[in-house]
């Protein structure tokens, strides 16, 4: 089993890089990582892995990527935080080409396992209007009213996975990720998500001595955030399970953005004046993961406390930002 070919699509990205590292730690010896980005922009890259730079929106590239594949993880997408998603709906929709061509290639080459990384953005917007949100169950994706652009693409791709499984026997599994964060991720440049963005802003305030922070929205919007280690464990467990329908993979520890800032301020050891930008993208008012089903089917759910995960994330971003100031360079994660 350790020698069967595993292909990580989006292997140069945040989650993909961590997944490749985890597979190597487990002793897998035949791993292929594929990403659109130039190699020097990959968040993590490992010489013992077959690394390919390919545009997976192209059918021929997907066939090249999946030749000989036993297991496929599709983590590839043109996406980012809410600022990117709301302003790039067309680009987000084009990601449907990636999953389409990967499924076709998986069918052609007989891949035994196919994992699709979906998103909590598939959920009906009417159920996310209140910051005191009722945690979202898997059934709440229908009737469909997902996040425009990105959410629609994810929901459609979930259905495509289902029908390739039912019609062609491709063994697909899908998980709806809820706000994954951790070290080795994007923290500036427009694609970063809230945990990394807040860390960066607090660190900038600490290093500059200007103790102010801009918060998008009124700070009352609520979310749950899943640490990368929980994402990796859940992803691999779901891939090898008998769970056929898309399932939540996220923490159920609900916090407001104001509370997230509180946590990072405490880690940094300072208090900041808060300036609220009510015109900035902020997404839905409330979103949380109902983990009833994953606990029932896997006997497990994401368990890393937000405070613990944020401390590790803050320390990594702090070191990266100090390093960039010392050498006068811009890290790839800020491009």
Distance CA(330)–CA(268), nearest Å, equals 22
Asked if residue 284 lies in contact with residue 148, where contact means CB atoms within 8 angstroms, the answer is: no
Residues 131-147 as b or e (16 or more Cβ within 10 Å = b): bebebbebebbeeebbb
Lowest mean pLDDT among 14-28, 180-194, 196-210, 229-243: 180-194
Start-to-end CA distance of the chain, whole Å, equals 38
For residues 111-116, average pLDDT: 98
Active site residue 150: yes
Among the options 43, 123, 150, 187, which is catalytic?
A: 150
In this model, does residue 26 exceed pLDDT 50? Answer: yes
pLDDT of residue 332: 47
Predicted TM-score (pTM) of this structure: 0.93
Give tens-digit pLDDT for 89-105. 888 899 999 999 999 99
pLDDT at residue 169, rounded to an integer: 97
Respond yes or no on whether the N-terminal peptide bond of residue 285 is cis (omega within 30° of 0). Answer: no
Which pLDDT value is given to residue 328? 60
At 304 the pLDDT is: 98
Token pair for 69: 């594949």
Please report, for residues 116, 134, 150, 172, the alpha-carbon distance to residue 162 in angstroms, rounded to integers and kept in the order given. Answer: 10, 27, 19, 7
**Which tens digit of pLDDT belongs to each residue from 166-202?**
999 999 999 999 999 999 999 988 888 899 999 999 9
pLDDT for position 108: 98
Structure tokens belonging to residue 292: 């009833």
For the segment 292-310, the average pLDDT, to the nearest whole number, is 98
* Structure-block tokens of residue 107: 């069918």
Under DSSP, the state recorded for 136 is B
51, 11 contact by CB (below 8 A)? yes
Query: Mean pLDDT throughout 14-42?
Result: 97
- CB count, 10 Å around CB of 274? 13
DSSP 116: E
What is the predicted pLDDT for the residue at 324?
Answer: 83
Confidence tier at 72 by pLDDT (50, 70, 90): very high
pLDDT of residue 329: 53
* 201-220 mean pLDDT: 95
**What pLDDT was estimated at residue 333?**
47
Q: What is the mean pLDDT of residues 200-218?
A: 95
Q: pLDDT class for 334, splitting at 50, 70, 90?
A: very low
What pLDDT does residue 198 have?
Answer: 97
């Amino acid at each position: 089993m350790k020698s069967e070919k595993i292909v990580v699509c989006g292997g140069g990205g945040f989650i993909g890089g961590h997944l490749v590292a985890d597979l190597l730690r487990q002793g897998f010896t035949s791993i292929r990582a594929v990403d659109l980005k130039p190699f020097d922009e990959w968040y993590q890259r490992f010489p013992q892995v077959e690394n390919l730079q390919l545009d997976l929106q192209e059918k021929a590239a997907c066939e090249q990527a999946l030749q000989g594949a036993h297991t496929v993880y599709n983590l590839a997408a043109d996406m980012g935080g809410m600022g990117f998603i709301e302003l790039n709906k067309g680009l987000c929709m084009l990601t449907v080409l990636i999953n389409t061509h990967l499924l076709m290639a998986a069918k052609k080459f007989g891949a035994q396992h196919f994992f699709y990384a979906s998103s909590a953005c598939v959920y009906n917007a009417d159920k996310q209007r209140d910051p005191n949100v009722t945690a979202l169950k898997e059934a709440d994706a229908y009737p469909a009213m997902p996040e425009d652009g990105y959410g629609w693409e994810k929901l459609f791709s979930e259905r495509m996975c289902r029908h390739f499984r039912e019609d062609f026997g491709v063994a697909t599994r899908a998980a709806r990720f809820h706000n994954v964060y951790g070290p080795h991720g994007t923290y500036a440049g427009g694609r970063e998500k809230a945990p990394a963005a807040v860390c960066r802003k607090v660190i900038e305030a600490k290093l500059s001595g200007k103790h102010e922070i801009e918060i998008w929205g009124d700070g009352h919007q609520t979310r749950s955030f899943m640490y990368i280690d929980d994402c990796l464990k859940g992803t691999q467990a779901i891939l090898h399970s008998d769970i056929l329908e898309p399932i939540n993979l996220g923490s159920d520890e609900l916090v407001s953005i104001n509370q997230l800032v509180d946590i990072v301020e405490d880690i940094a050891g300072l208090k900041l004046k808060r300036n609220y930008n009510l015109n900035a993208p902020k997404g839905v008012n409330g979103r949380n993961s109902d983990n009833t089903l994953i606990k029932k089917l896997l006997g497990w759910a994401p368990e890393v406390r937000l405070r613990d995960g944020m401390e590790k994330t803050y320390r990594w971003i702090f070191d990266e930002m100090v390093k960039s100031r010392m050498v006068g360079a811009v890290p790839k994660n800020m491009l």
